[in-house]
Chain A
Amino acid sequence: MKSIDELVSEHPFVAGLSDEHRALVAGCARIVSLDAGSMLCVEGEDADTFYLVYRGHVSIEVHQAGRGPIVIETVGAGNAVGWSWLVPPYRWTFDARATDPVGAFAIDGACLRAKSQRDASLGYALLSLVSQELLERLQATRVRLLDLYGGPRV
């Protein structure tokens, strides 16, 4: 049976980290299983955790009165959920809900921030990873804003 260190190290999100840094991340991780419909993050609450999803799907949502939850994006295995743990005031700005049974590594954000304070190379490596993921999400969001599929193609 694999240790949590080994399991976290196999997650694609941390593939770009060194063995030493992966071990530091794994030291802040625990395995969580979430039923469909469970909330991973709730808008306005303290953002003390982020998730590396290895099974299932998570919808990033915002709640609007009268309309209920509006799904902004769906992420799945191999992706990370939650960035608000990284920057003050450490508060979720969106909801995240399991759309089917989800398996994830829940990473303690405060633990990782403390380790990054002590080891600047870890902080830099993590910021590089997160920036890359954020860039990809931002680019995808920009393309979606263009409403491409509605364009004049036959």
Chain B
Amino acid sequence: MSSVTELDVPRSALTPALHRVVARRQETSDVVTLWLESLGGERLAFRSGQFNMLSAFGVGEIAISISGSPNDLGPLRHTVRDVGAVSRALCLSEVGAVVGVRGPFGTDWGVSGPSTSGDTVIVAGGIGLAPLRGAVEELAAARHSGAGRVFVLVGAREPDQLVFLDDMAKWEKKGVVVLSTVDRPAPGWDGRVGLVTTLLANAGFDPSHCRVLICGPEIMMRFTARALIDLGVDAASIWVSLERNMQCGLGWCGHCQLGSLLLCRDGPVVGYPEASALMNERER
């Protein structure tokens, strides 16, 4: 997919732009979606799969994928999971709070270009659907113009940790095939139980003519990619989203280095042939 060059770096890439939280939705017990509007009035242009550095002032700054679609005309949308001090502060931000935004940074899913006739398969684990949500929105919208079929396969630990259920219903109405599965069913759950890889074989996509975008925990992405290749999907048609300790967002500081890649610049979206060796690299 496309890479970001220095020419693409925003002028104020190191200075957070102030944004106000204009809406907030609790997605699950520990996941919140925030809608952010620039105090300066400018609208951030981005591509699906890219991330921003979000600041909770006085606490810190972290990389958060953009969960909105580039086609959205409204506020910037981020979905945050409470896993640490900064993400907790962001999750607790109420409407009216001000946060900092730097970006967008990194590579994208490559779905914004000309539509393709082949199938596109989106595989997400847990909150991994957030970085893919914009891509699904774009692909679902492109269905009207004769683009290929779209499959969204989602795995979560428990039913109440499935995010974007309302979006899934909308995507299905647009002809997107949406399948979900959970590891641990709750009372009343009549859906599938099992790893997300169990959805692949019978989803209905054409393994010989598809591209696959995967986001989730790395082990889940490894297992999913291997299962796809076993089904006949070309490894070069598989893309994953990798994440390390993103800090500068510009490939300058080196904190997010993984092998020869600086993931804030050369990622997060990386082709599987390149990513597979890095994902199997053991840290010393």
Which residues of chain A have a CB within 8 Å of any CB of chain B?
Answer: 12, 57, 59, 68, 70-78, 99, 139-140, 143-144, 146-154
Contact = CB atoms under 8 A, between A and B. Distances in A.
Given A139-B223, A153-B217, A76 B202 contact: yes
Contacts of B156: 149
- Nearest first, the 9 A-B pairs at minimum CB distance are A149-B126, A148-B217, A74-B192, A149-B157, A140-B195, A152-B83, A74-B193, A71-B193, A71-B185
Interface residues of B, number: 38
Looking at chain A's contact residues, is the secondary structure mostly helix, strand, loop, or mixed?
mixed
Contacts of B201: 12, 78
Contacts of B183: 144, 147, 149
Contact of A154 (B125, B127, B193): B127
Contacts of B190: 99
Contacts of B64: 154
A144 B219 CA distance: 10
Contacts of B243: 153-154
Nearest to A77: B202
B81 interface: yes
Contacts of A75: 194, 198
Interface of B: 62-65, 80-81, 83-84, 87, 125-128, 155-157, 161, 181, 183, 185, 187, 189-195, 197-198, 201-202, 216-217, 219-220, 223, 243
Contact of B193 (A73, A139, A148): A73
Contacts of A152: 83-84
Contacts of B84: 152
Contacts of B202: 76-78
Contacts of A147: 157, 183
A151 B81 contact: no
Nearest to A145: B183
B216 A149 contact: yes
